[in-house]
Amino acid sequence: MKKIYFIFIFSSIILILLSCSNALENKINLEGLNVVAPGIIRTPEERFVNLEDYPFQSNYMMIDGVRIHYLDEGPSDADPIILMHGLPTWSYLYRKMIPIFVDAGHRVIVPDMVGFGKSDKYIEKKSYSYLNHKELMKKLFINLDLNNITLMGQDWGGPIGLRVAVEIPEKFSRLIVSNGGLPSMPNPQAWIIKNFLDLNVWLNTPTSFQDLIALRNQVSEIDDEPSLIDGLRFFSRWIAHSYYAEDLDISGVMVLLGGLEKLSEGEKYAYEAPYPSSEYKMGANTFASFAMHELAENESYWKDVLDKWEKPLLVAFGENERTTYRLKQVFIDRIPNPTVVDDIKNAGHFIQEEAGEELAFLINDFIDGKL
């Protein structure tokens, strides 16, 4: 009891210090930014001209004062497949998979979350939250009147997309978990872990990109499957770097998290295209900081919905995935009858880049009941 009380007091002090630190952040200079509403900026369209392998038609919807971009490919009367991106990507991530789904007769919806891709971006970090991301996506799916949905969520597309699915499960026919998941934990463990992580973020601020690479290599040399403590140690430094980085290196992050050293110059530009300057990167800066938010609430949805899930659910991870691999076993252990395939060869965190076509054909077979 004394330990919990001590953690509570100490964590409260840390949170106060963090709040003061955030309050002292430099005021953003709006000069040169494409401001479309108070607190909201929009990437100029010319940044997206002639992107490599991205011939898709843009669609937009205004939700809660922000313009959300989404792709809507294939026959409009077909059951939809929704593909959810994570950090630091956008709908460009799914360019290799979309044509395969469309050729099979599926409708494909690929949204850009607020702060990413062609969607609007909040100017201030405090405007972003896990629940706000979730609510915007939920309203998008409802407003599009989507039903019989097959959902795939990777990286942060998992926690956000799956949270939407468990809140309105009647709209979803199938779930696909690929290098993502719905992190959960009951209280008081959830509260303790969150505050432990917040403390470590504070202790590790600032953390340079070079520090992150060195720590990743150090942890990898010790064990191919790092312990929970090692994982939290690395993740706290990653949050410290990503949240406070003055100009987050988008393609560098993709190399760090997924080992994508072989991206072409055109692909690197496409991933950087949404961010003409650092002021457009607040969504990317903040995403990782939500990792331990809503753990207890997510656990409630696990118990009420996912633990009883009788609809098809596919688990397909990359063999070189490290960021979310621990979540794979959770689905195997807790979902009543999941379809689990062998880890996809030569694929890491950004499985859409390294094995997108293979994964798309696999998903087509899953939808057709062939797995």
Phi, psi of 140 (to 5 degrees): -60, -50
Cα dist from 322 to 64, 195, 265, 314, 326, whole Å: 35, 23, 25, 19, 8
Q: Measured between alpha carbons, how far is 169 from 129 in angstroms, rounded to an integer?
A: 22
Q: What is the secondary structure of 260-295 as a DSSP string?
A: -TT--HHHHHHHHTT-SSGGGGHHHHHHGGGTTTTH
Tell me the β-bridge partners of 68: 61
pTM of the model: 0.90
Phi, psi of 83 (to 5 degrees): -115, 120
Q: How many CB atoms neighbour CB 208 within 10 A?
A: 12
Sequence ranges of the domains in the chain:
36-183+245-367
Contacts made by residues 143-147, CB under 8 angstroms, sequence distance 24+: 143/61, 143/63, 144/61, 144/72, 144/109, 146/80, 146/82, 146/109, 146/171, 147/79, 147/171
For residues 276 and 44, is the Cβ–Cβ distance under 8 A? yes
In this prediction, residue 24 carries a pLDDT of 42
Q: Measured between alpha carbons, how far is 346 from 157 in angstroms, rounded to an integer?
A: 21
Per residue of the chain (371 residues), give pLDDT as tens. Answer: 444 444 444 454 444 444 444 444 556 778 889 999 999 999 999 999 999 999 999 999 999 999 999 999 999 999 999 999 999 999 999 999 999 999 999 999 999 999 999 999 999 999 999 999 999 999 999 999 999 999 999 999 999 999 999 999 999 999 999 999 999 999 999 998 888 888 888 887 777 777 777 766 665 655 556 566 666 777 888 888 889 888 999 988 888 887 788 889 999 999 999 999 999 999 999 998 998 889 999 999 999 999 999 999 999 999 999 889 999 999 999 999 999 999 999 999 999 999 999 999 999 999 999 99
Closest CA to 175 of 364, 273, 70, 311: 311
In this prediction, residue 61 carries a pLDDT of 98
Q: Measured between alpha carbons, how far is 18 from 30 in angstroms, rounded to an integer?
A: 25
For domain 36-183+245-367, give the CATH superfamily: Alpha/Beta hydrolase fold, catalytic domain (3.40.50.1820)
Q: Sheet holding 121-122: strands in order across?
A: 35-37, 40-41, 121-122
- Helix/strand/coil for 234: helix
| DSSP E strand boundaries for the chain | 35-37, 40-41, 58-63, 66-73, 80-84, 107-111, 121-122, 149-155, 172-180, 313-315, 339-340
Q: Sheet holding 339-340: strands in order across?
A: 58-63, 66-73, 107-111, 80-84, 149-155, 172-180, 313-315, 339-340
In this prediction, residue 79 carries a pLDDT of 97
Distinct helix (H) and strand (E) counts, the chain = 13, 11
Q: Measured between alpha carbons, how far is 125 from 108 in angstroms, rounded to an integer?
A: 30
In this prediction, residue 20 carries a pLDDT of 44
In this prediction, residue 256 carries a pLDDT of 80
In this prediction, residue 224 carries a pLDDT of 58
Which residue in the block uniquely carries the two structure tokens 């494909």? 108
Give the amino acid at 21. Answer: S
In this prediction, residue 286 carries a pLDDT of 95
In this prediction, residue 354 carries a pLDDT of 95
In this prediction, residue 227 carries a pLDDT of 62
